[in-house]
Amino acid sequence: MSKQSSRGPAWEALRQAVLERDGYTCAYCGREATTADHVTPKAQGGRDELSNLVAACLPCNSKKQDRVLIRNAGFNPRWLDSLW
Ligand SMILES: [Zn+2]
């Protein structure tokens, strides 16, 4: 079983349910969310279920999953401060 096996129609339905539950708002930065992120990573035993998923925007989701900082020239972290 590869990691990719979780990305099918079932995952899409789950992702949609999480986004609707959280109002399409990223749990990390409050911006518009388009993905679902595992609270407990699958690598640490987290499951594909609503209680273990939160809505997340793509930058926050990729930042967490890959532990790689987003190197996007158009992204300025100070924008996040101004939101609060
Ligand atoms: Zn975010």
Over its C-alpha atoms, the chain yields an Rg (Å, rounded) of: 13
Please give the pLDDT value at position 68. Answer: 41
Q: How many domains does the chain have?
A: 1
Q: For all residues of the chain together, what is the average pLDDT? A: 81
Domain that holds residue 20: 3-83
Q: How confident is the model at residue 1 (pLDDT cuts 50, 70, 90)?
A: very low
At 42, give phi and psi (nearest 5°).
-60, -35
Listed residues: CB within 5 A of ion ligand 1: 26, 28-29, 57, 60
Distance CA 29, CA 59 (A): 10
Please give the pLDDT value at position 7. Answer: 78
Distance CA 18, CA 24 (A): 8
Measured in Å, residue 46 CA sits from the centre of ligand 1 at 20
CATH code of residue 39: 3.40.1800
Average pLDDT over residues 1-30: 86
Measured in Å, residue 64 CA sits from the centre of ligand 1 at 10
Per residue in 19-68, pLDDT (tens digit) is: 999 999 999 999 999 999 999 888 899 999 999 999 999 999 987 654 44
